[in-house]
Chain A
Amino acid sequence: MNIELINQLGDELYHAMLAREPVAPLTSRFDLTIDDAYAISLRMLERRLAAGERIIGKKIGLTSKAVQTMLGVNQPDFGYLTDAMVFSSGATMPISERLIQPKAEGEIAFILKKDLMGPGVTNADVLAATECVIPCFEVVDSRIQDWKIRIQDTVADNASCGLFILGDNAVSPRQVDLVTCGMVVEKNGQQISTGAGAAALGSPVNCVAWLANTLGRFGIGLKAGEVILSGSLVPLEPVKAGDFMRVEIGGIGSASVRFT
Chain B
Amino acid sequence: MNRTLTHEQVLALAEYVEGAELNVHDIPKITNDYPAMTFADAYDIQWEIRSRKEARGNKTVGLKMGLTSWAKMAQMGVETPIYGFLSDYFSVPDGGVVDCAKLIHPKIEAEISVVTKAPLQGPGCHIGDVIAAIDYVIPTVEVIDSRYENFKFDLISVVADNASSTRYITGGRMANLADVDLRTLGVVMEKNGEVVEVGAGAAVLGHPLSSVAMLANLLAERGEHIPAGTFIMTGGITAAVAVEPGDNVTVRYQGLGSVSARFV
Give residues in A with beta carbon < 8 Å to B.
177, 179-184, 191, 194-199, 202, 233, 248-251
- Given known pairs A182-B254, A191-B206, the reply for A197 and B186 (CB within 8 Å) is yes
Residues of B within 8 A of A194 (CB): 198-203, 237
For the complex, give the distance between the alpha carbons of A250 and B254 in Å. 8
Q: Which residues of A contact B252 (CB under 8 A)?
A: 179-180, 198
Q: Do residues A183 and B186 form an inter-chain contact, with CB atoms below 8 A? A: yes
> Roughly how many angstroms separate A194 CA and B199 CA in the complex, as a whole number?
5
Residues of A within 8 A of B206 (CB): 191
Whether the pair B184, A198 counts as a contact (CB closer than 8 A) is no
Chain B residues contacting A248 (CB-CB under 8 Å) are 183-184
Quick one: given A180-B186, A184-B184, A250-B185, are A195 and B199 in contact (CB under 8 Å)?
Answer: yes
Could you tell me the distance in whole angstroms from the C-beta of A128 to the nearest C-beta in chain B? 22
B70 at the interface (CB under 8 A from A): yes
Given the known interface contacts A177-B254, A180-B254, A196-B254, the answer about A191 and B186 at a Cβ–Cβ threshold of 8 Å is no
Per-position 1/0 for B244-261, Cβ under 8 A of A: 000000001111000000
State A65–B238 Cα separation when bound (angstroms): 16
A196 near B200: Cβ-Cβ < 8 Å: yes
Set of chain B residues within 8 Å of A184, measured between Cβ atoms: 183-184, 200, 202
Closest to B198 in A: A196
* Min C-beta distance of A208 to chain B, whole Å: 17
Instruction: Check if B254 sits within 8 Å of A191, measured CB to CB.
Output: no
Return chain A residues, CB-CB under 8 Å to B187.
180, 182, 196
Question: A199 to B187, alpha carbons, bound, how many Å?
Answer: 10
CA gap between A184 and B182 in the complex, in Å = 11
User: Which residues of the partner chain A approach B199 to less than 8 Å between Cβ atoms?
Assistant: 182, 194-196
Chain B residue at minimum C-beta to C-beta distance from A181: B186
In the complex, the chain B residue whose C-beta lies closest to that of A179 is B188
Establish whether residues B186 and A196, one from each chain, have CB atoms under 8 Å apart when the complex forms: yes
Task: Please name all residues of chain A whose beta carbon is closer than 8 Å to the beta carbon of B198 when the two chains form the complex.
Answer: 194-199, 233
CB distance from A259 to the nearest CB of B (A): 22
Whether B181 sits at the interface, judged by CB under 8 Å, is yes
Q: Give Cα A181–Cα B183 distance, bound, in whole angstroms.
A: 11
A182–B198 CA distance with the chains assembled, in angstroms: 8
14 intermolecular pairs with C-beta atoms under 8 Å apart: A177-B255, A180-B253, A180-B254, A181-B186, A182-B187, A182-B199, A184-B184, A194-B198, A197-B188, A197-B198, A198-B195, A199-B198, A251-B181, A251-B184
Range for the number of chain B residues in contact with chain A: 20 to 34
Which of chain B's residues have a CB closer than 8 A to the CB of A196? 186-188, 198-200, 254
- Consensus secondary structure, chain A interface: mixed
Q: How many angstroms between the C-alpha atoms of A180 and B185 in the bound complex?
A: 8
Contacts of A198 in B (CB 8 A): 188, 195, 198, 252
Chain B minimum-CB-distance residue to A198 = B188
**B260 → A minimal CB distance (Å):** 14
A248 to B207, CA, bound (A): 13
Complex formed: what's the CA distance from A198 to B238 in Å?
A: 13
Q: Which residues of B contact A249 (CB under 8 A)?
A: 184
Contacts of B200 in A (CB 8 A): 182-184, 194-196, 250
A27 to B29, CA, bound (A): 50
Bound complex: CA A197 to CA B188 (Å) = 8
Q: Which residues of B contact A179 (CB under 8 A)?
A: 188, 252
The residue of chain B having its C-beta at the shortest distance from the C-beta of A194 within the complex is B200
Given contacts A180-B252, A180-B253, A251-B254, contact A191 B70 (CB under 8 A): yes
Q: Which residue of A lies closest to B183 (CB)?
A: A184
A98 to B184, CA, bound (A): 32
Docked Cα-Cα span, A178 to B7, in Å, equals 54
CB-defined contacts of B188 to chain A, threshold 8 Å: 179-180, 196-198
B213 to chain A, nearest CB (A): 17
Q: Which A residues are in CB contact (< 8 Å) with B202?
A: 182, 184, 191, 194
Known: A182-B199, A183-B200. 14 other contacts (CB 8 A): A177-B254, A179-B188, A180-B253, A181-B184, A181-B186, A182-B186, A182-B201, A184-B183, A195-B199, A197-B198, A198-B195, A198-B252, A202-B195, A251-B255
Q: Closest CB-CB distance, B70 to chain A, in whole Å?
A: 7
Q: Is the CB of B70 within 8 A of A182?
A: no
Q: How many Å lie between the Cα of A233 and that of B181 in the bound state?
A: 19
Expressed in whole angstroms, the Cα–Cα distance for A195 and B188 within the complex equals: 9
Which of chain A's residues have a CB closer than 8 A to the CB of B254?
177, 180-182, 196, 250-251
**C-alpha spacing A255/B125, complex, angstroms:** 32
Query: What B residues does A199 contact at CB under 8 A?
Result: 195, 198
CB contacts (< 8 Å) of A202 on chain B: these are 195
Q: Known: A196-B200, A251-B254. Is A182-B195 also a contact (CB below 8 A)?
A: no
In angstroms, Cα B110 to Cα A198, docked, is: 15
Compute how far the CA of A202 lies from the CA of B198 in the bound complex, rounded to whole angstroms: 10
Asked whether A183 and B195 contact (CB < 8 A) given A194-B202, A194-B203, A250-B254, the answer is: no
Expressed in whole angstroms, the Cα–Cα distance for A230 and B206 within the complex equals 26
